[in-house]
Each structure stands twice: as C-alpha cells, then as structure tokens.
Copies of this chain bind each other. A is one copy, B any other.
Amino acid sequence: MAVRIDLNISLDGVAMPTGQTPEDPMGEDWGRLVADYAATRTFHERVLHDTSGAGTTGVDDRYASAYFDDIGAEIMGAAMFGLHTYPDDPDWRGWWGDEPPFHVPVFVLTHRERPPLEFANGTRFEFLATSTADVLARAHEVAGGADIRIGGGVSVARDFLAAGLVDRLHVGIVPIVLGRGVRLWDDLREFDLGYEVTSEVAESGVIHVTFSR
C-alpha cells in the first residue's frame, strides 16, 4: 500500500516546462524531458498501444515498466488531466483517447464539479475538491491493497511530498539544464531525511534516483 511518485526532471529540477498552449499543451521542453521514457518499449506498448516490439529495453524501460506495476488507484491534479488547458469544455475526456493507460480509478483534484468518466479498460476518472489526506484515504479504499500513484503534476506531487505522505519517489534526471519551468525540489528542504536513496545511470544517460522508506 505504498504511495508512489515517478517524475522526469532536468538537472536543474524542472519537472514541468513553461510555454504550454492548446497547440503545445506540454510546453516547449517537454520533448527533451521525456524523450528517453517515450523511447521505451513499455511506453510504446502501454501508452501508444504499439505492440510491434518497438522501443528500448534497458534500464529506462525497467523503470517505465515498474511505473505501471501494482497500482490500484491514481491521484492527479486538474492541469495533468487538461482542465487548465480546456477549462470550459464539458466534453473534454483527458489527453489519452479512448484507452487511458491507467486501468484503475483516477481521482482528479479540481474545484470545478464534473461527472465521473468511465472507460471500458477500467479507467474511471472522478473529480474532487478535497485535501491531500482525504483524497489519499479515498484512493486507499478503492485500491484493493495495491499501491497508489500520485501521477502529477509537479505542484500536486510537491504537496504530497511536503505533507510526508509519499513512500517512494523515483525521479528520472535528464542531464539537461532548462532554466525555467516548475521545479520539483522547491520548498522541500531536507525531504530526503528518513528515506533510503539509490541511484543508477541508464544507457541513455538518464540518472534514476529513488527515495524509499
């Protein structure tokens, strides 16, 4: 029943680039930040539904695959679901098409009321205006003993980290300097105390750092 976060960040800690527009909803630097993750076989299979066997199978793929293991519920912020990009569109159903890669209940934190969204593959989005502790309690209720993932975005992840609610944080550090965007580590002084840290460098150059307790 661990609470887990996985994020890609730049060397300067940027987890969410600037410059988002409806045409470029992830922002100008997103491609460099997720290139090695998006190149994995797991990403090809789970997100792109490409079962041709394409994609890398090294260290990056091992982390990508672990990302999907044993998750019983997910929590994300309104921005990650797309509600900041499409605030007035009642038909918006997220970025992921008809097969969102979650397959579990997903709680979206937002102050706008919306009816739940159900998908045939087991993904169910429920929209809530509540606290980190309360949404976590609700996620535990539906997770069936499996882990809970805080999907993002970075401000939601930081809220859970600052509240001491996270059991495992994995960051894939891409060795690039972005210099602008939302940084993960701000206001998390000495967050690391109380965690074990392990680090590993992938063939791609991405540095995988995991804090566990």
- Residues of chain A at the chain B interface (Cβ within 8 Å): 11-13, 175-180, 183, 185-192, 197-201, 205, 207, 209, 211
Quickly give the copy total for this chain: 2
With A11-B209, A209-B207 known as contacts, the answer to whether A177 contacts B191 (CB < 8 A) is yes
Q: Which chain B positions have C-beta within 8 A of A211?
A: 175
Are the C-beta atoms of A188 and B177 separated by less than 8 Å?
yes
Are the C-beta atoms of A189 and B179 separated by less than 8 Å?
yes
Are the C-beta atoms of B205 and A192 separated by less than 8 Å?
no
Q: Which chain B positions have C-beta within 8 A of A197?
A: 175, 205
Closest B residue to A191 by CB, please name it: B177
With A12-B13, A185-B11 known as contacts, the answer to whether A177 contacts B192 (CB < 8 A) is yes
CB distance from A180 to the nearest CB of B (A): 7
Q: Which chain B positions have C-beta within 8 A of A12?
A: 13, 183, 185-186, 188
CB distance from A73 to the nearest CB of B (A): 27
Are the C-beta atoms of B185 and A179 separated by less than 8 Å?
yes
A191 to B183, CA, bound (A): 17
With A200-B201, A205-B199 known as contacts, the answer to whether A180 contacts B175 (CB < 8 A) is no
With A11-B192, A201-B201, A207-B207 known as contacts, the answer to whether A179 contacts B175 (CB < 8 A) is no
A205 to B207, CA, bound (A): 12
Are the C-beta atoms of B176 and A180 separated by less than 8 Å?
no
Q: Which chain B positions have C-beta within 8 A of A183?
A: 12
A197 to B11, CA, bound (A): 12
A197 to B209, CA, bound (A): 17
Closest B residue to A176 by CB, please name it: B192
Contact of A179 among B178, B187, B199, B201 (CB under 8 A): B187
A197 to B198, CA, bound (A): 20
Closest B residue to A209 by CB, please name it: B175
